[in-house]
A and B are shown apart, each in its own frame.
Chain A
Amino acid sequence: VSAVLGVSCDYHDAAAALVIDGRIVAAVQEERFSRIRFDSSLPTHAMQWCLRFGGITAADLDRVVFYENPYAHQTRVMSWSLKTWPRGLRMFPRAMRSQLSSKLWVLDRIASSLGIDRTRVTHVAHHRSHAASAFYCSPFSKAGVLTLDGVGDSETTSLSIGHGDSLKQAWSQDFPHSIGLLYAAITAWLGFRVNDGEYKVMGLAAFGEPKFRSELGKVLRIEGDASFSIDVSYLGHLVDPDLGFGPKLEKLLGRRRSPSKPWDLADAEDKRYADIASSLQSLTEEVVVGLARRARAMAGVSELCMAGGVALNCVANALVAAEGPLYVHPAAGDAGGALGAAIIGAMELGDPRPEYLSSVALGPVPDTSRAADVARHLGFSTAYVDPVQEASDRIGRGEVIGWVQGRTEWGPRSLGHRSILADPSLPDTRDRVNRTVKQRELFRPFAPVVSAQSFGSYFEGEPDLLTPFMCTVRNVKPSVALAAVTHVDGTARVQSVDSGPLVPLLERLPVLLNTSLNAAGDPIATSEIDALSFLHARPIDALIIDDLLVTRP
């Protein structure tokens, strides 16, 4: 029996996860406390909250496990600084300063922050953390495991075989050959913010056609065994940390799109950008599907687990799931690595593999009485209500409501604990929520949430291991009218529900629009104060925090 804290930080979404006696007790991203989206700093708030929630102190921890090998990372930075000499001149001082002033010492920083001996802080390889988060949280006893992201340590892609408590890597692809970094480069070229805009590229792809596959095929070469190579001369991430793509890419695809220009997909120029997004998505799907087949073949079973940032590409996931059972860790990005690292540490100390992670409600709960006090202080009206009755009445009247129930979700998706809910059948709901509530691009679709029993009435196929976590897309049945949540290609990033706070609401309204309770650029609301701030700043009609109704007077 043991208490193990997993930690990720310094690169993308910092997080902490606590495993006690082989049970996943708590997991949360640092951004939920710091209110800085994708906060990558040392997750001091997340670590301390996990310990408090678990009812232990840092002194009780048997081990703290960092999700990456800082020495392998340092070695990769130095190796590539030499390999790209002298073009890497601009990158080198920044990289070295970042490494030597902070990142190299991450294990010391964690120990110091927690006030524990440095000997109790260890590390595991980045892609092993991802693979562990996928396989050990899945319901499978044996599976192939595929991890894909930008880069972690020196690897960008890995295939492993999971069997019982065993998880062995069988193949990996090294930096700079990375489908994640290529996707990030094109994301930047399209004028979106890297690490945030990849979702937008995926949504934009549905508006285009893959007419530029041959051009992008010069950048990404896919081999017969599904491995791939990148012609890095088109990309800038080896020599320019700010841009991510080089002048050669602009010669190949044309001038980059201005980030500040509003999208107009009726315009020929923007349609061309959508065609390029579609071409990138098409090539990405070819790589992911090919590697998935290879992972399944290696493991000798049809079950597959996936993690890493690329595994958040739910359109590619749908194609992989069509060929066999698939589980994707709900926090597939770097945050999930913290949980994978904690599980590895716990199992090394003799704890059993955790049970299937059927719920991602692993974060903090709201304080309803504090919410009522603050709401009244801000001049809002408050009342204690039956939340299901109140929500169904209001959504039935066409209102858009904030919905805060129980523990915050682990990972990037709002799955019914910190959500904005609305009627998906109203055609203007999508524009209203996009334009005034979320203030984001109008082409971006919203996701529906449906009860597992009613799934087949609205969407093709049956619920699977991906639908509870909004990790896939399904075709919307042509006979149903779900205008606000149906993408231009007739699909929806649907969530199925058979447990949790949305169940009673979905018994009254079987399908809802469900989007995260945050504005563009903000982290998802976590505390009651975050939710009240959102109500204060955005034109939603009401906010329900557990059984507390908050409205404008």
Chain B
Amino acid sequence: VSFRTIRDLLRHLWREQKWFFIPFILILLVIGVVLAATSGAAYVAPFVYSIF
């Protein structure tokens, strides 16, 4: 995870007046970090499907 990329993405969303995506993307990023931290590649599909 690159903080520069996260910062640039958030700036892009703000500039494009799509700020309402910011909480959405932050939640997704947290999920991504959790999956990465738990080596959860094998769980990606059922985990994400169970939420969405």
Q: A72-B12, A78-B25 are in contact. Are A93 and B5 (CB under 8 A)?
A: no
Tell me what chain B mostly uses at the interface: helix, strand, loop, or mixed. Answer: helix
- Minimum Cβ distance to chain A for residue B39 (Å): 13
CB-contact partner of B18 in A75, A96, A108, A118, under 8 A:
A75
CB-contact partner of A93 in B18, B24, B45, under 8 A:
B45
Contact indicator per residue, chain B 15-29, by CB within 8 Å of chain A (1) or not (0): 010100100110011
Chain B residues within 8 Å of A75, by CB: 12-13, 16, 18, 21
CA distance A97 to B32 in the complex (A): 8
Is the C-beta of A92 less than 8 angstroms from some C-beta in chain B?
Answer: yes
CB-contact partner of A100 in B4, B28, B45, B52, under 8 A:
B28
Chain B residues within 8 Å of A479, by CB: none
**A104–B52 CB distance below 8 A:** no
**B8–A71 CB distance below 8 A:** yes
Is the C-beta of A470 less than 8 angstroms from some C-beta in chain B?
Answer: no
CA distance A93 to B32 in the complex (A): 12
**B2–A101 CB distance below 8 A:** no
Is the C-beta of A34 less than 8 angstroms from some C-beta in chain B?
Answer: no
**B49–A104 CB distance below 8 A:** no
**B9–A105 CB distance below 8 A:** no
Is the C-beta of A167 less than 8 angstroms from some C-beta in chain B?
Answer: no
CA distance A100 to B34 in the complex (A): 12
**A93–B12 CB distance below 8 A:** no
CA distance A96 to B45 in the complex (A): 11
CA distance A97 to B29 in the complex (A): 10
Chain B residues within 8 Å of A108, by CB: 2, 4-5
CB-contact partner of A89 in B1, B8, B16, B52, under 8 A:
B52
Is the C-beta of A382 less than 8 angstroms from some C-beta in chain B?
Answer: no
CA distance A72 to B49 in the complex (A): 25
Chain A residues within 8 Å of B1, by CB: 105
CA distance A89 to B28 in the complex (A): 15
Chain B residues within 8 Å of A89, by CB: 52
**A79–B18 CB distance below 8 A:** yes
Q: A108-B2, A118-B2, A118-B4 are in contact. Are A93 and B49 (CB under 8 A)?
A: yes
Is the C-beta of A9 less than 8 angstroms from some C-beta in chain B?
Answer: no
**A93–B29 CB distance below 8 A:** no
Q: A96-B28, A100-B29 are in contact. Are A78 and B21 (CB under 8 A)?
A: yes
CA distance A105 to B1 in the complex (A): 8
> Closest chain B residue to A86 by CB distance?
B52
Chain B residues within 8 Å of A107, by CB: 2, 5
> Closest chain A residue to B12 by CB distance?
A71
Is the C-beta of B37 less than 8 angstroms from some C-beta in chain A?
Answer: no
- Listed from nearest, the 9 A-B pairs whose CB atoms lie closest are A71-B12, A93-B48, A108-B2, A100-B32, A71-B9, A78-B21, A92-B52, A105-B5, A118-B4
Can you give 20 A-B contacts (C-beta < 8 A)?
A: A69-B12, A71-B8, A71-B9, A71-B12, A71-B13, A72-B12, A72-B16, A75-B12, A75-B18, A78-B24, A92-B52, A93-B48, A93-B49, A93-B52, A100-B32, A101-B32, A104-B5, A107-B2, A118-B2, A118-B4
